[in-house]
């Protein structure tokens, strides 16, 4: 796969990380306009009842017309505490939660002004957990798909558009009461499989 142009995501789905780990070079588009109902500020985790959506609130009506680099996070509600308590509730009984807890918790304490900054710092921590070196470059401007020399995967993975064709099942926290859920944020995989996470991601087959 050639170098990849892609949006930043909040934590990132398993299929998103499958793409990232297979690209020799990543270009995050910080000049694109924010897209509503995407994973840019949304992540899905597995609760005792079903899939639970975590959403980062944004200033100015979700900043629909702002470039991603200018999208600001809102703290009018204590979403950080809510998200962290949700992660604890859903994953405290998983095999590897305690092992990674100290690396994830700071994102629910530190106040970030911008969504992109938050997402990219999260990306760096997760790539370190997965023990994969990913080359990342910043672009100087917005590029149309035909202008970019590489593969444009912006908006390829969206909540309404499942891309997983095959995912090797692993034991999830609530597997005694519900069927396997493949397209969650990568933390579900990490908390349940630990240092085997990258191996699982390598085995995913995506629909193109």
pLDDT at 124 over 90: yes
Do residues 29 and 154 make contact, with C-beta atoms less than 8 angstroms apart? yes
Contacts (Cβ under 8 Å, ≥6 apart) of 89: 47, 48
Residue with tokens 């390598």: 202
State the greatest distance between any 2 C-alpha atoms of the chain, in Å, as a whole number: 49
Domain ranges of the chain: 4-206
Closest CA to 168 of 186, 154, 182: 182
Cα(121)–Cα(183) distance, rounded to whole angstroms?
22
pLDDT (tens digit per residue) in 146-190: 999 999 999 999 998 888 999 999 999 998 889 999 989 999 999
Alpha helices in 93-205 (DSSP H): 97-104, 115-129, 186-193, 197-203
Predicted TM-score (pTM) above 0.85: yes
pLDDT (tens digit per residue) in 57-99: 999 755 457 899 999 999 999 999 999 999 999 999 999 999 9
Beta bridge pairs of residue 193: none
Do residues 43 and 22 make contact, with C-beta atoms less than 8 angstroms apart? no
User: Torsions phi, psi of 202, nearest 5?
Assistant: -60, -30
The pLDDT > 90 percentage for the chain reads 84
């Amino acid at each position: 796969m050639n170098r990849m142009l892609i949006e930043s995501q909040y934590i990132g789905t398993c299929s998103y990380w499958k793409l990232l780990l297979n690209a020799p070079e990543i270009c995050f588009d910080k000049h694109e306009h924010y897209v509503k109902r995407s994973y840019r500020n949304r992540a899905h985790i597995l609760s005792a009842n079903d899939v639970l959506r975590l959403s980062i609130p944004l200033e100015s009506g979700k900043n629909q017309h702002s470039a991603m680099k200018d999208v600001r996070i809102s703290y009018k509600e204590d979403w950080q505490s809510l998200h962290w308590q949700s992660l604890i509730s859903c994953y405290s009984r998983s095999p590897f939660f305690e092992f990674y807890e100290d690396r994830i918790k700071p994102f629910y304490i530190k106040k970030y002004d911008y969504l992109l900054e938050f997402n990219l710092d999260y990306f760096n921590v997760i790539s370190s957990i997965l023990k994969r070196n990913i080359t990342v470059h910043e672009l100087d401007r917005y590029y149309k798909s035909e202008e970019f020399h590489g593969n444009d995967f912006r908006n390829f993975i969206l909540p309404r558009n499942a891309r997983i064709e095959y995912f090797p099942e692993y034991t999830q926290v609530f597997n005694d009461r519900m069927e396997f859920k493949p397209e969650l944020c990568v933390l579900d995989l990490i908390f349940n499989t630990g240092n085997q996470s990258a191996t699982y991601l390598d085995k995913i087959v995506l629909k193109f």
